[in-house]
A and B are shown apart, each in its own frame.
Chain A
């Protein structure tokens, strides 16, 4: 049984069909990719999988349990975290607090109105460890909005990691990054690989082909191809969809 499965998802916005019988399965421990041109429905698909939109038809299964149509916060609490293509940080918080607020320990104490939020050294350690993982340990006390773009990208992933996810969705983590930043991000994701199941949306083919165990190609709201990077390189459909130009 796959860790996370989507069966036959359909979604319409008005009379526009955005997703049409999309079925995906992500195996535990793997790094899966979702690829496709702009406007293909990748982010919409993520939004359905993480509870932002309800599909009109189809099922979303987490460890075999039906979680279709649950709220984003309910899905997050199952251990499914996501990052965003357009960055979604707590801008006025410090880098440290962006992480600390997302930790399950903080969530467990969120009803507490009198104790101090970050007085537990173990919690601070935990947040620092996550910052170290995404390469931001030195910047813990900076305001999130003061970070340069690449560091904000890293923090975006850090916030998702702070949720202690079993499954991590990354929505175009390289968006807007130069080749340097991209290489650093690929490093970071390689380091995470294996310790957490990861699904990445990406239209940078090289980036995805070098990282992913298996890739699904979405075009016009449908999955047009699935397989290992090697298999996809040989797939005529992928080539026809104007994606297969690898140097």
Chain B
């Protein structure tokens, strides 16, 4: 019997990423940065990973993902004010609300692909953003939803207070570890492989018996759920929710993070991208207010010369070294 073709449940890359993040609070202030930056990076890394499920893994260009992130943020706040001031209830509300929003959008766009998919996601993103701005009674309009509390995490008898940035950082890290592990499983599950097949060839997938529409809808809903979770954490981190995270340019940021990091070729690419994005914002931003110009230019250069992003550069360097050292290893399509 041929051996099973399995992928490791825990990879070295996974452990390295988790450990690096776990050590961040120990040195981040010593290098002149601050704890809250770490929280932001982790939340957006999670968001970008969730987003990449749609862009990199399913090949569906969504440019309105901010809607799901924002819906999660508002739902977290509204649940806190109106349902129960309990962390788990609020996070569940964020995930649930984003799932509903994702399902609603999926209903209208899952028969599309390519540019039409992109345009419709932009349109839906704008609709959600517009509602957030105009529904004053619900969202506080442009003033935002203020006074969202960092609720304590209750676990049976123990309670963790998350008021400090370091405590919140470790809480977000636990969620990040869970989400990245879950995504790793999804990507290598039968469901995930079918989605990847659909990305490459919708027609063929249909003719081997897959209902393409359902898979495209499902992957969007999953991605929306996890984006909403990240959004909920974000509103907790900044103690408020604003419509700007739902705007087109914020939706563009997550696309940039994913592409710059190399989400198209690597599972961890979006994480690299989120780190690069925030470091650029703070480090270039300390020198010039026009940091977005420089980040945008480097994005253009990267897309022109190395569309596979930072992870792609690393992979080709590693390949070149391997080629020099040993005979060529057959490439395979598993996410690494």
B-binding residues in A (CB < 8 A): 50, 71-73, 76-77, 81-82, 84, 88-94, 96-97, 100-102, 104, 106-107, 109-122, 124-125, 128, 141-143, 146, 159, 162-163
Q: Is the CB of B190 within 8 A of A109?
A: yes
Is B191 interfacial (CB-CB < 8 Å)? yes
Is B209 interfacial (CB-CB < 8 Å)? yes
Is B331 interfacial (CB-CB < 8 Å)? yes
Residues of B within 8 A of A128 (CB): 2
Interface residues of B in 316-334 (CB under 8 A from A): 330-333
Q: Is the CB of B200 within 8 A of A76?
A: no
Residues of A within 8 A of B6 (CB): 116, 118-119
Q: Is the CB of B207 within 8 A of A112?
A: no
Q: Is the CB of A110 within 8 A of B333?
A: no
Name, among B190, B191, B196, B330, the residue most crowded by chain A CB atoms within 10 Å (CB to CB): B190
Is B164 interfacial (CB-CB < 8 Å)? no
Q: Is the CB of B209 within 8 A of A120?
A: no
| A106-B193, A116-B6 known; A121 vs B330 contact (CB < 8 Å) | no
Across chains A and B, the number of contacting residue pairs, with CB separation under 8 Å, is 123
B195-225 interface mask toward A, CB cutoff 8 Å, 1 = contact, 0 = none? 0110011011011111110010000001000
Report 21 cross-chain contacts, Cβ distance below 8 Å, ordered by A residue. A72-B206, A76-B206, A76-B208, A77-B209, A88-B201, A89-B201, A94-B332, A104-B209, A106-B190, A110-B215, A111-B191, A112-B189, A115-B190, A116-B188, A117-B188, A117-B189, A119-B5, A121-B1, A124-B1, A143-B333, A163-B208
| A116-B6, A119-B6 known; A90 vs B194 contact (CB < 8 Å) | no
CA distance A115 to B208 in the complex (A): 21
Q: Is the CB of B193 within 8 A of A112?
A: no
6 more CB-based (< 8 A) A-B contacts, given A92-B333, A102-B208 = A90-B201, A91-B200, A116-B188, A121-B4, A141-B332, A146-B331
Is B185 interfacial (CB-CB < 8 Å)? yes
**Min C-beta distance of A98 to chain B, whole Å:** 9
Is B186 interfacial (CB-CB < 8 Å)? yes
Name, among A101, A106, A159, the residue most crowded by chain B CB atoms within 10 Å (CB to CB): A101
CB closest residue in chain A, given B191:
A113
Is B192 interfacial (CB-CB < 8 Å)? yes
Q: Is the CB of A107 within 8 A of B209?
A: yes
Residues of B in contact with A, size category: 35 or more
Residues of A within 8 A of B194 (CB): 101, 106, 110
Name A119's contact: one of B1, B4, B211, B222 (CB within 8 Å): B4
Q: Is the CB of B189 within 8 A of A116?
A: yes
Is B13 interfacial (CB-CB < 8 Å)? no
CA distance A223 to B185 in the complex (A): 52
Name B210's contact: one of A73, A121, A141 (CB within 8 Å): A73
Is B3 interfacial (CB-CB < 8 Å)? yes
A-binding residues in B (CB < 8 A): 1-7, 185-186, 188-194, 196-197, 200-201, 203-204, 206-212, 215, 222, 330-333
Q: Closest 3 A-B residue pairs measured CB to CB?
A: A76-B209, A118-B5, A102-B208
**Min C-beta distance of B144 to chain A, whole Å:** 35
**Min C-beta distance of B266 to chain A, whole Å:** 14
**Min C-beta distance of A126 to chain B, whole Å:** 9
Name, among B188, B201, B207, B222, the residue most crowded by chain A CB atoms within 10 Å (CB to CB): B207
| A81-B208, A88-B204, A91-B200 known; A124 vs B2 contact (CB < 8 Å) | yes
Q: Is the CB of B207 within 8 A of A81?
A: yes
CA distance A114 to B190 in the complex (A): 8
Name, among A50, A115, A117, the residue most crowded by chain B CB atoms within 10 Å (CB to CB): A117
CA distance A128 to B186 in the complex (A): 25
Q: Is the CB of A90 within 8 A of B200?
A: yes
Q: Is the CB of B208 within 8 A of A159?
A: yes
CB closest residue in chain A, given B329:
A141
Residues of A within 8 A of B3 (CB): 121, 124
Residues of B within 8 A of A114 (CB): 185-186, 189
CA distance A178 to B190 in the complex (A): 37
Q: Is the CB of B201 within 8 A of A82?
A: no
Residues of B within 8 A of A113 (CB): 185-186, 189, 191-192, 222
CA distance A92 to B222 in the complex (A): 23
| A73-B209, A91-B200, A110-B190 known; A125 vs B330 contact (CB < 8 Å) | no
**Min C-beta distance of A212 to chain B, whole Å:** 23
Residues of A within 8 A of B196 (CB): 92-93
Q: Is the CB of B1 within 8 A of A107?
A: no
Residues of B within 8 A of A118 (CB): 4-6
Q: Is the CB of A82 within 8 A of B189?
A: no
